[in-house]
Amino acid sequence: MSDAVIDRLVTLVRRTDADLAEAALLCARGCDPEVDVAVQLLRVDALADQLRAAGGAPASGELAAHNLGAFLGAERGFRGDPARFHDPDSSLLHRVLDTRQGLPILLSILYVAVARRVRVAAWPIALPGHVVIGIGDGERPQVLDPYHGGIVLDETALRERVGAATGGRVAYRRSMLRPAPAVAIVRRLLNNLTRDLVALERTVPALWTVEAKLALPNHVPEDHRLRGELATTIGRFDVAATAFERYLELTTGEGEDRQQARRAAIEARARMN
């Protein structure tokens, strides 16, 4: 089942019209096989139907942004909670639909999914350290911050957000408002899940998130090393050995990381006997 989920996820993120809600729910199903993607998508559809019934779309960029933020943020109460920032549930769309609290990326996925269902042009914007959304309005899109209740961000606020997220090392540029590709959003979501599941020692779902990332375009060598470490933890020594060896193939030098990976590969091969 997990292979089929990954196959569908890989196919989906290659589409320019990818439904980010489905992508997020596939990530959730990979972590929890009990998640019914079709049923959870109906909950997203219902939110869109409620917005449409309230007269929230279609509309101009400015009005559409106001309506979307007012409906999902002020009325429905979707927003972030800093106390739950490292809770894996904040990265699982079905749980975010239950609690109405999530990470910026999950809330942005939900906003975009609802907006597109009512034919409002919307896209995720991957600012450094913080994901927001854009609503189409000619050359000057409206920018909403779902994590803070769907408020509209002007350029002053955007400069402040970027400065705060980067410690002042990166300056805001309007080019940052370009749509983030679906694959980049999914990888960022999986990175969050990997981090939080590893911290809680939930090894099996953490391993799945790493294997999903490895199936996506542009994976990185570190994913192979982490796959090896997680597979070792649950006794999948054949997987671990292959992962460490692949990490060594993709990296160079004689740093401590490579030395540890070489030793780990040898140990994993030995434990297969």
Q: Where are the alpha helices (DSSP H) in the chain?
A: 2-13, 20-31, 37-53, 61-68, 93-99, 104-117, 155-166, 182-199, 203-215, 221-233, 237-250, 256-271
How many CB atoms neighbour CB 58 within 10 A? 12
Residue 49 burial (10 A CB sphere; 0-12, 13-18, 19+): middle
CATH class of residue range 2-177: alpha beta
pLDDT value of residue 56: 72
pLDDT exceeds 80 at position 88: yes
Q: State pLDDT tens for residues 19-48.
A: 999 999 999 999 999 999 999 999 999 999
pLDDT value of residue 137: 65
* Spatial strand order in the sheet of 122-127: 122-127, 130-135, 142-145, 151-152
DSSP tag of 179: P
Calculate the average pLDDT of the chain: 93
- Kindly list the domain boundaries of the chain, sorted by start residue: 2-177, 220-271
* Structure tokens, 156: 């002053």
Report the alpha-carbon distance of residue 110 to residue 97 in Å, rounded.
Answer: 9
Query: What values do phi and psi take at 123, rounded to 5?
Result: -155, 155
Mean pLDDT, range 173-188, rounded to an integer: 94
**238 three-class SS:** helix
pLDDT exceeds 70 at position 103: yes
pLDDT value of residue 138: 60
Q: State pLDDT tens for residues 111-155.
A: 999 999 999 999 999 999 899 999 986 667 899 999 999 999 999
pLDDT exceeds 80 at position 273: no
